Amino acid sequence: MRVVVIRAGSAADAAQVAAVQREGWFAAYAGIIPDEIIDRVTAPDDGARVRQTFRTRPWQRMIVAVPDGEDAGIVGYASFGPETDVLSAPWPHPLSTGGEERRVAELYALYVRPAWWSTGTGRALTERVLARSARAGYSSITLWVLRDNRRARRFYERAGFAPDGATNELTRLGGVIELRYRRTLQLQLVILSPRKTISWTSRWSRGTLEVNRNDRRDGVS
């Protein structure tokens, strides 16, 4: 079993995160978005675009997955925070009303190196996002996924997400259509000193995730 450690991401991880994103885009969007567009949008820049998001989106949080006991660097990441208003304003999207009121969270991005697909890495990242969003008081969470990305849609549906009817055309990516998915968050918090257990309802499992008070890293598969 391949095991990853989930830890907080920072601007210092930008170059590795950008590399994971580029590799993930080419693998996940092959046949959906033309290669020349992917190449342009994810062109290597030593992580400059990722570092910019830390400066311009102070509400954004990022977590990264690194192999436990392996010197392989970052193999996956997720970014999340309050929901943005994708439909009413161009990029960079402002927060939606639900996001500003901290009622609705959003999973902005989730990418894993193809060599680490089907290892539980994506699931581990998603479960951590759900747990942290629920703990922060959000009652629901949204995400946007390409309509033709069947693999990703199956993954999110297994995680309890479902389309809510909203669609958006990404003109700068060749006119592809994305769908908004949504799920509710349920939190039961039990304080256990010096650790605390967070449980939530998921179609994957009904269980608990233990995190320490500083939300540092833990090993998950």
- Read off the pLDDT of residues 89-132 as tens digits, 9 standing for 90 and up: 888 899 999 999 999 999 999 999 999 999 999 999 999 999 99
List Cβ neighbours of 153 (8 Å cut-off, separation of 6 or more).
145, 179, 181
Q: What average pLDDT score do residues 61-87 get?
A: 94
Q: Note whether 149 and 178 are within 8 A (CB).
A: no
In the 8-state DSSP scheme, what is residue 90?
Answer: P
Q: What pLDDT is stored for residue 91 in this prediction?
A: 82
**Region 175-189: what's the mean pLDDT?**
89
pLDDT tens per residue, range 17-53: 999 999 999 999 999 999 999 999 999 999 999 999 9
Map out the domains of the chain with their CATH numbers: 4-185 (3.40.630.30)
Residue 139 reports pLDDT greater than 90: yes
Examine the pLDDT at 14 and tell me if it is beyond 80: yes
Backbone angles phi, psi at 156, to 5 degrees: -70, -35
- Count CA within 13 A, CB hemisphere, residue 139: 3
Q: Compute CA distances 97 → 61, 83, 127, 186, whole Å.
A: 19, 8, 25, 21
Residue 1's pLDDT band, with cuts at 50, 70 and 90, is low
Are the beta carbons of 112 and 24 closer than 8 angstroms? yes
Residue 196 clears pLDDT 50, i.e. is over it: no
Question: What residues have CB less than 8 Å from 59, skipping those under 6 apart?
Answer: 81, 82, 95
Q: What is the pLDDT of residue 44?
A: 96
Q: Report whether 219 contacts 68 (CB < 8 A).
A: yes
Whole-number pLDDT of residue 188: 56
Q: Which tokens go with 158?
A: 């297994």
Q: Which among 178, 124, 133 has a CA at the least distance from the CA of 153? A: 178
Q: Mean pLDDT throughout 137-151?
A: 98
Q: What is the pLDDT of residue 194?
A: 46
> What's the chain's average pLDDT?
87
pLDDT for 5 equals 95
